[in-house]
């Protein structure tokens, strides 16, 4: 069993993540920042063997409720280095959903490198024995992000899908 990271360290990591976001992203006061993490599973089949690789990612995710924009900033586990940010306006997102069981969020957009990104926004991570995620505590922030995401990206899509299904039956 992994040794638990103290809350003080988790809160400090969240603060460092927010500070990094503020240093990198122009006009950062527009955004509310949360930590997100994801794992990408790749498989390759050879003649006799299947090779599975896992790529772990950490993100500082900023969302602007007024503009319906999300910024995803890849960060390293030490919260010191970062990759190029992805700016996603609601109009550019092809599809967005959240798995009800795992709470994993999937966003599909043409400007993303693999055309999609998957991550979770945990309330607290404090016992990662593999050392692939950043220990954070962001209870209220994670809840607010989940509410924002569901209200602004999922409900309307579900309504649009329902409207399309209804229109198919009406046309016949």
Query: pLDDT tens across 127-153, in order?
Result: 877 778 999 999 999 999 999 998 888
What pTM was estimated for this model as a whole? 0.83
Confidence (pLDDT) at 161? 55
Q: Give all strands of the β-sheet with 93-98 in edge-to-edge order.
A: 93-98, 105-109, 116-119
pLDDT digits (tens, 9 = 90+) for 69-93: 999 999 999 999 999 999 999 999 9
Instruction: Give the separation between CA 105 and CA 149, rounded to whole angstroms.
Output: 9
Beta strands in the chain (DSSP E): 32-45, 50-64, 69-75, 86-89, 93-98, 105-109, 116-119, 124-125, 136-137
Q: Which residues contact 145 (CB under 8 A, 6 or more apart)?
A: 32, 34, 61, 63, 121
Q: Kindly tell me if the per-residue pLDDT of 107 is higher than 80.
A: yes
Phi/psi for 9 (5° steps) reads -70, -40
Assess contact for 59 and 75: CB atoms under 8 A.
Answer: yes
Cβ atoms of residues 16 and 135 within 8 Å: no
Q: Specify the pLDDT at position 136.
A: 95
* 152-162 residue pLDDT tens: 887 554 555 55
SS3 171: helix
| pLDDT tens per residue across span 19-30 | 999 999 999 999
pLDDT of residue 42: 74
Q: How confident is the model at residue 166 (pLDDT cuts 50, 70, 90)?
A: low
């Amino acid at each position: 069993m992994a040794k638990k990271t103290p809350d003080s360290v988790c809160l400090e990591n969240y603060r460092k993540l927010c500070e990094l976001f503020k240093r990198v992203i122009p006009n950062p006061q527009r955004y509310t920042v949360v930590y997100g993490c994801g794992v990408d599973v790749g498989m390759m089949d050879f003649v006799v063997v299947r090779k599975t690789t896992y790529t772990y990612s950490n993100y500082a995710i900023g969302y602007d409720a007024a503009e319906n924009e999300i910024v995803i900033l890849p960060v390293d586990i030490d919260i010191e280095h970062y990759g190029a940010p992805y700016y996603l306006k609601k109009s550019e997102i092809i599809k967005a959903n959240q798995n009800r069981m795992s709470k994993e969020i999937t966003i599909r957009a043409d400007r993303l490198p693999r055309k999609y990104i998957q991550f979770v926004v945990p309330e607290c991570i404090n016992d990662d024995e593999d050392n692939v995620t950043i220990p954070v505590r962001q209870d209220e922030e994670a809840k607010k992000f989940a509410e924002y995401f569901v209200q602004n990206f999922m409900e309307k899509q579900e309504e649009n899908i329902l409207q399309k299904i209804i229109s198919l039956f009406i046309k016949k």
